Amino acid sequence: MRIHLLHTAESNIAVFKAAAVELNIPAQYLRHHVREDLLQACEMAGGLTQSIRQQTVETLLQLAEDAEVVLLTCSTLGPAAEDAAKQTSVRMLRVDRALAETALAAEGHITVLYAVETTKGPTLKLFADVQGEREADISFSWVAEAWERFKQGNSAGYLQLIAAAADKAYQNGAEVVVLAQASMAGAANLTQFGIPLTSPLCGLRAAMSPETA
């Protein structure tokens, strides 16, 4: 099994390795690739432009040449995985789609947390697509200042802010809290009022499932 993962943060390699251990996925199944420049370009442009989207598609298709599954782990770039999927027979997955499907299978109010502002648009559209005609009670919340801490290298402070926001969501009545970005996953171990859904676990489960398109 060869699962190629495209990250936009070096630190996400450790996040997905930890998720693989939790799911008993052999380490040799995963091959990690990092393109921090793609997310940086999105932040500078204020979102996912057509040019950046095409660069991401080309990168994903290159990875597909030697993979059974390609998993895009960046929520901001997520739509590019859907474009690439139309151009290859290799299973091309965006990590946040599995996250959205898992969240929407649950009942009750769902709060989706995100740290990078460029993630909001793709995440809103993804949840709307997955939701379809089903009724769902969903709110989206930006965790202010969190991403600045991440970019400064303050990972502990970043995760603490995410965990605090998740706990606040639970206290405000959320039955399901979703951490929209893979880099947020470590905060799930710091919460006191519930365990949020994280994309590394959901995404790797999908990658290992032959039924997932």
Per-residue pLDDT, 110: 97
d(CA 85, CA 90): 7
- The number of angstroms, rounded, from the C-alpha of 93 to the middle of its chain's C-alpha atoms is 11
The reported pLDDT for the residue numbered 85 is 96
CB contact set of 87 (below 8 Å; sequence gap of 6+) = 57, 61
What pLDDT does residue 211 have? Answer: 60
Q: pLDDT (tens digit, 0 to 9) for every residue of the chain, 213 residues total?
A: 999 999 999 999 999 999 999 999 999 999 999 999 999 999 999 999 999 999 999 999 999 999 999 999 999 999 999 999 999 999 999 999 999 999 999 889 999 999 999 999 999 999 999 998 888 899 999 999 999 999 999 999 999 999 999 999 999 999 999 999 999 999 999 999 999 999 999 999 999 987 644
